[in-house]
């Protein structure tokens, strides 16, 4: 279960203003243009998949949107206002999971999620235990993460989706180490978040099975 409230999500879903929008983005790396004149909109209730070959700039684009890369030109808007004018609110509404799982291997799944929850909205241990159960980690809550498989560590990271109040999820290759059951689970989480009025931007080479999926191609 998610701790996100529904009132703000429903209001956002009924609005015609895009949740996230990019205008005329330009970025180059090592004297090579990754993308230019890049425009897109992501509405509440949508899942947008970023596609492209390796090196086309998918991860770079996500890092730009999350404020982790300032080597670009153009404008990014959150709910119709430039992110630079409301950075605190934007980052409070954002959950970014990179292609690295972002899990401390010396901590347990429970400890990792306790720490993660302090970044946005602290939650009770009961909520964390339920989230870990929901992602298939019942019985592993207090095992150090270095004892878990790569797929299980990825599930620890994905459990953050269930305890975060963020309305915007930005996910970089989240399916990489998941087995078939994990893939099905993550697809359900993406759809459930969209159904509640949330928004998802994701890069993956996986053939997503999500209704009304939107796509943006780079390169």
Is residue 1 scored above 50 in pLDDT?
Answer: no
31 inside domain: yes
Contact 128, 114 (CB under 8 A): yes
- Which pLDDT score is estimated for 178? 93
CATH code for the domain in which residue 94 is found? 3.40.50.300
**Residue 219 reports pLDDT greater than 60:** yes
Give the pLDDT confidence score for residue 30 in this predicted structure.
Answer: 87
> Domains in the chain: how many in total?
1
Q: H or E element: which one contains 181?
A: helix 180-195
pLDDT of 6 over the 50 cut: no
pLDDT in tens, 10-39: 554 455 789 999 999 999 988 899 999 999
Domain that holds residue 113: 7-204
- Rounded to an integer, the average pLDDT of 174-192 is 94
What is the reported pTM?
0.88
CA-only gyration radius of the chain, Å? 17
Q: Does residue 121 belong to any structural domain of this protein? A: yes
What are 135-173's pLDDT values in tens digits? 999 999 999 999 999 999 999 999 999 999 999 999 999
pLDDT tens readout for residues 32-65: 999 999 999 999 999 999 999 988 999 999 999 9
Buried/exposed 162-171: b ≥16 CB within 10 Å, e otherwise: bbbbbbbbbb
Residue 212 included in any domain:
no
């Amino acid at each position: 279960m998610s701790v996100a409230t529904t009132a703000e999500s429903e209001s956002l879903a009924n609005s015609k203003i895009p949740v996230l929008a990019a205008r005329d983005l330009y970025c180059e790396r090592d004297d090579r243009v990754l993308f230019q004149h890049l425009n897109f909109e992501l509405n509440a209730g949508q899942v947008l998949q970023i596609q492209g070959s390796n090196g086309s700039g998918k991860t770079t684009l996500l890092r730009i949107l999350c404020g982790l890369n300032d080597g670009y030109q153009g404008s990014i808007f959150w709910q119709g206002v430039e992110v630079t004018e409301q950075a605190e609110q934007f980052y409070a509404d954002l959950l970014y999971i990179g292609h690295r799982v972002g899990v401390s291997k010396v901590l347990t799944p429970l400890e990792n999620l306790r720490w993660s929850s302090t970044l946005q909205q602290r939650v009770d241990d009961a909520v964390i235990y339920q989230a870990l159960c929901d992602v298939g980690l019942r019985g592993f809550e207090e095992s150090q993460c270095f004892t878990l498989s790569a797929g299980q560590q990825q599930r620890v990271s994905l459990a953050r989706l269930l305890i975060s109040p963020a309305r915007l999820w930005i996910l970089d290759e989240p399916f990489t180490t998941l087995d078939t059951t994990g893939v099905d689970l993550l697809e359900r989480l993406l759809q459930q978040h969209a159904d509640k009025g949330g928004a998802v931007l994701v890069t993956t080479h996986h053939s997503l099975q999500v209704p009304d999926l939107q796509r943006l191609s780079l390169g």
